[in-house]
Structure 1
């Protein structure tokens, strides 16, 4: 029995090797799904279990300077990714309709390969978002949606750029996602810079709306495939998966929006009490990727547990 399992795993590994796009297989973290899966499983374990327990009896770290530098770096990185996506097709030769994958080794095709891998690798850098939450004891912000999105995105992208030649209409969602992250990390940078910058954050309530718009754009764009008379996209399976991805996350974030802004279930305790007395207060601003921006009143879990149960409905 064990021998059969091992044999099947070896066959599957050989299949992956044969299907891997030769133009991307030498990039870091692209040689095997074991590497990236191990990293992401460790991320979930550390975020949900180990980190909060290690910090349970410790004072939270400030990390103000580190967060400002990190968020500014992520703004610049995502802006560069957007630029490279535009220059490798979306702003040059693509029609924004039935754009096929360029499987050649032309400079533009190789540029698309590089930026697609950079987008994929940036998802590992974004795991630091959760590390900052853990070290600052913001466990209430490490929701199911936050952890799921941060781990699911890089895991699926590994399969996408390994088994499918990168580019074409299937890369549109990466362009949109990087654009949203420029806006998101700009907000985070200003928020981390201190109270004197908070007057520039009047638009925080629109962050989840921006994220929802992202999924609408992705779904509409990829849906064109189903209405075209002819579109010979090389790997139709990924068209279907991207469409399902857009719809699935739209539903998740829509539910999050309802819980946060309509039902008010994610308001801090102090805010709920204030509302009961007849006055109004501002909810925690919900932003992209299931993360929240505190308004200064959020309460934190200090028993080392993450409130995953509270947000399973998200």
Structure 2
């Protein structure tokens, strides 16, 4: 029985190797789904067991310098990804409608393949968001949705770029997600730099709206497929998955918006008390106006991009 199971696994692995697009076959982590699956299982093990156990009797680590370097490094990396997406089709030849997969080996196609892999690889770097939470003992920010998103996103993208690395309209969500990450990591970098930079974070209140706009843009763009008279996109299954993913995260993030800003459930207790003392009350509830130790850095990261396609982190 075991031998039969192993034989089937090996047979499936051989099939994947043959089916893998030759243009990405030599890229790191693209030789087999086993490598990336082990990395993501290791991430889950560390976040749920090894990390909390290691930090159980230790004080939270102060990682200010590391977080500043990490966040601004991610700003630069995502800005580069956006630029490459624009130069490999979205800012040059794409129609922004039914842009099919480019199966050629033209310079533009190879450039799109490369940036798709860079976006995929960035999802592994983003696992550090959760590692920072663990080491700083921010356990309340490590929710099921946060872990699911960060582990599920790179896993699904592996299959995407294995089969269709230059997926035309199927890459729009990745470009939008990278744009949002430039904004988000800029905020987190400035926030980590200290209170002296708070005056530069006046746009914090727009972060949630930016996240929602991301899901709307992605869903509207991909929805064109269902209304076109004809679109010869070669792998429509990815169109359906992107639409489902964008719509689902719009709903989840809208719920986050409602819970955070309408009901005020995420308003820190100390801020509620302070505002109540100041008489800032409406309908018996304190109005949230103050910043809470990078509240969105944990909350928004729970629902992020999409595939980051959105993030609630830190979608």
- Aligned counterpart, 2:302: 290
- Aligned counterpart, 1:239: 239
Equivalent-residue separation in structure 2 for 1:41 and 1:274 (angstroms): 43
Equivalent-residue separation in structure 2 for 1:246 and 1:7 (angstroms): 37
1:48-197 to 2 correspondences below 5 Å = 48-197=48-197
Larger RCO (CA under 8 A, 6+ residues apart): 1
1:246-285 to 2 correspondences below 5 Å = 246-274=246-274, 278-279=279-280, 280=286, 281=288, 282=290, 284=292, 285=295
Equivalent-residue separation in structure 1 for 2:134 and 2:34 (angstroms): 26
| Structure 1, 127-136 or 214-223: larger mean CA deviation | 127-136
| Structure 1, 137-146 or 103-112: larger mean CA deviation | 137-146
Return closer, same or farther for 1:148/1:205 CA change in 2, 3 Å cut-off. Answer: farther
Deviation per CA, 1:250-297, whole angstroms, max 9, x where unpaired?
A: 1221222222222222222323444665544436443543289xxxxx
Return closer, same or farther for 1:223/1:291 CA change in 2, 3 Å cut-off. Answer: closer
Return closer, same or farther for 1:276/1:41 CA change in 2, 3 Å cut-off. Answer: farther
Return closer, same or farther for 1:254/1:227 CA change in 2, 3 Å cut-off. Answer: same
Return closer, same or farther for 1:291/1:104 CA change in 2, 3 Å cut-off. Answer: closer
Q: CA deviation at 1:231?
A: 0.6
- Aligned counterpart, 1:303: none
Structure 1 residues without counterparts, runs of 5 or longer: 293-314
- Aligned counterpart, 1:45: 45
Q: CA deviation at 1:124?
A: 0.5
Contact in 1 for aligned 2:101/2:168 (Cα 8 Å):
yes
| Structure 1, 261-270 or 283-292: larger mean CA deviation | 283-292
Q: CA deviation at 1:121?
A: 0.4
- Aligned counterpart, 2:227: 227
RMSD of the TM alignment (CA)?
1.8
| Structure 1, 99-108 or 247-256: larger mean CA deviation | 247-256
Equivalent-residue separation in structure 2 for 1:92 and 1:118 (angstroms): 20
| Structure 1, 204-213 or 91-100: larger mean CA deviation | 204-213
| Structure 1, 6-15 or 275-284: larger mean CA deviation | 275-284
Equivalent-residue separation in structure 2 for 1:265 and 1:5 (angstroms): 49
| Structure 1, 162-171 or 274-283: larger mean CA deviation | 274-283
Equivalent-residue separation in structure 2 for 1:109 and 1:10 (angstroms): 31
Structure 2 residues without counterparts, runs of 5 or longer: 281-285, 305-315
Number of equivalences: 292
- The residue matched to 2:77 in structure 1 has which SS? helix
Return closer, same or farther for 1:259/1:53 CA change in 2, 3 Å cut-off. Answer: farther
- The residue matched to 1:286 in structure 2 has which SS? helix
Deviation per CA, 1:45-98, whole angstroms, max 9, x where unpaired?
A: 211222122212211221111111111111000000000000000000000000
Provide the TM-score with structure 2 as the length reference: 0.88
Contact in 1 for aligned 2:100/2:234 (Cα 8 Å):
yes
- Aligned counterpart, 1:31: 31
| Structure 1, 205-214 or 168-177: larger mean CA deviation | 205-214
- Aligned counterpart, 2:308: none
Deviation per CA, 1:129-187, whole angstroms, max 9, x where unpaired?
A: 11111112222222222222211111110011012242310000000000000000000
Equivalent-residue separation in structure 2 for 1:197 and 1:108 (angstroms): 41
Contact in 2 for aligned 1:253/1:290 (Cα 8 Å):
no
